[in-house]
Each structure stands twice: as C-alpha cells, then as structure tokens.
Amino acid sequence: MGNIDNILNGHIFIAGPCSIESREHIFKMAKLVKQSGANVLRGGAFKPRTSPDSFQGLGKEAIDYLVEAKHKFDIPIITEIVDQRYLDLYDEVDIIQVGARNMQNFELLKALSKTDKPILLKRNMGATIGEMISASDYLRANGNDKILLCERGIRTFENATRYTFDVNAVAVLKEKTNLKVIVDPSHATGISDYVKSAALAGVAAGCDGLMIEVHDNPEQALTDKDQAISPQQLEEIIVKSKQIYDVLK
C-alpha cells in the first residue's frame, strides 16, 4: 500500500462514492478508483444530511467495509467523523475527515487534536478563510501538523451550481498556512459536468490534491448522484491534473 505519509507529501487524489452503500459496492469502487489513478479511497459512513429523512449512512458497519477494502485493494482510506464518541471506530482509518457542517464543532476538533492521524478539514459553506484557519488551529493545538484544508465551495447568491467554488481560497491558504490544500470540485459545483473544470482550476491554482466523488452508476447513487462522475472521467481528470502539475513544476 502507498504509505500515507508519502502520499501526503505528493499529489493527493482522493476518490470514491459519497456514501458507502454496501460491502460489495465499496469493494467495486475501491478497485475502479485505484485503476483510475486515485491514491486514497473515500466513502461516507456517517452522513450529516440536511433532512433526517435522507439516508444517514451505514455507520460502523460501513467503516468495517471500508477498512476491508483498504486491505483487499491496498489503498489508504478517508472517512468522515461526526462525533468524538465514535473516535474508537477510526483506528484503521488513514485520514479522518471533518465535514463542512462540523468545521466549527470545537469539541470535536479538540478531541481530534489529541490524535496523531492526518485530518482533512472541510470549509463550512458559510465560513471565511480566516475562520477555517482558526478551526485548523484547534486541530494543531497539540502538535499534529498533518492537517489538510479542503475548499469545497461556499454559499453565494449564485444558484446555477450547488455552491460556488472559491478558487481564491487555494492561493490564500497556501500563502497563509503551511498545510496541505485539497480541492473538492464535486461539492463545490454539485453537477457532474462541471467537476472536471473546477478540479483542473484547483490544480492550476496550486492545490496539493483533489477529493472527488465517483460512482460506477451515478444515476443509482444513494447520495449526491448529480455530482458523481464515472471512473473513466476520474481517470481523465487525474491524467490532466498530473500534466498541469508537470507544467507548474
């Protein structure tokens, strides 16, 4: 398996479904995203949904499937945590994700600051860059420097896309912090047709990596189906991103 520290020091391509839908499905996705060039597998187990009536994720069971996929397909994994009470479930998770809705859940951030795991902090859709940096200070309070900051779109008056991708944030975060900066073009646009443009813009702006939602059958995705791209589209984005990284070298 790619060593997580090596991966974090290179170009980070995180990909996988929005949610872990079943054991078979995450296995299938692990294989496909790895073949497409991704070096970290994502999948949500605990989903913070706007409506309580929406699919909430398979919880602990899903983390077990993701960990199985990690070993079977030899790929590090990332999944979101929504409550510090679940921290014990994340022993084998390589990167812990703090979702946009929990960016300022300070008790969660304090609990995570005591771990030595890499943590990916997503920007809240209503937070300034400064507020995001302050949230990351909570994570760094006890010496953890493996923090990844993720720009995933902010809420503006624009409604042609789900959120508005703040490409400025990439340059600002790179200048103001020494943390890794990841772009999530899936949530930033919310529409699969625009994912590639936003991803490549993020790479051109100097981000350290991408996090992209992928599904073998986007129409059937249990969550965020409108923004899911195919493994083939993922491969194209990764190939082009590497070309841009080469130009920027």
Which member of 146, 152, 162, 215 binds ligand PEP (CB under 6 A)? 152
Q: Which of residues 34-73 bind ligand PEP (CB under 6 A)?
A: 44
Q: Which residues are paired to 150 by β-bridges?
A: 122, 182
**How long a stretch of residues is the chain?**
249
CB-closest chain residue to ligand PEP: 99
Q: Which does 37 bind (CB under 5 to 8 A by kind): Mn ion, ligand PEP, none?
A: none
* Strand ranges, E, within the chain: 12-16, 40-42, 77-81, 95-98, 119-122, 147-151, 180-183, 209-213
CB of 96 to Mn ion, least distance (A): 16
What is the binding site for Mn ion (CB under 5 A)?
Answer: 18, 224
Nearest-angstrom CA–CA distance, 107 and 60: 21
* Amino acid symbol at 152: R
Nearest-angstrom CA–CA distance, 136 and 147: 7
CB 152 within 8 A of CB 100: yes
Total of residues contacting ligand PEP (CB under 6 A): 8
CB of 248 to ligand PEP, least distance (A): 26
Which member of 37, 99, 218, 231 binds ligand PEP (CB under 6 A)? 99
Q: How far apart are the first and last CA of the chain?
A: 26
CB of 196 to Mn ion, least distance (A): 17
- List Cβ neighbours of 242 (8 Å cut-off, separation of 6 or more): 11
Which member of 25, 34, 70, 122 binds ligand PEP (CB under 6 A)? 122
Query: Would you say 4 or 188 has its CB closer to ligand PEP?
Result: 188
Nearest-angstrom CA–CA distance, 123 and 150: 6
Q: Which residues are paired to 210 by β-bridges?
A: 13, 183
Q: Which does 16 bind (CB under 5 to 8 A by kind): ligand PEP, Mn ion, none?
A: none
Q: Which does 100 bind (CB under 5 to 8 A by kind): Mn ion, ligand PEP, none?
A: ligand PEP
Query: Would you say 101 or 225 has its CB closer to ligand PEP?
Result: 101
**By the rule CB under 6 A, 187 interacts with ligand PEP:** yes
Give the interface with ligand PEP as residue ranges (CB under 6 A).
18, 44, 99-101, 122, 152, 187
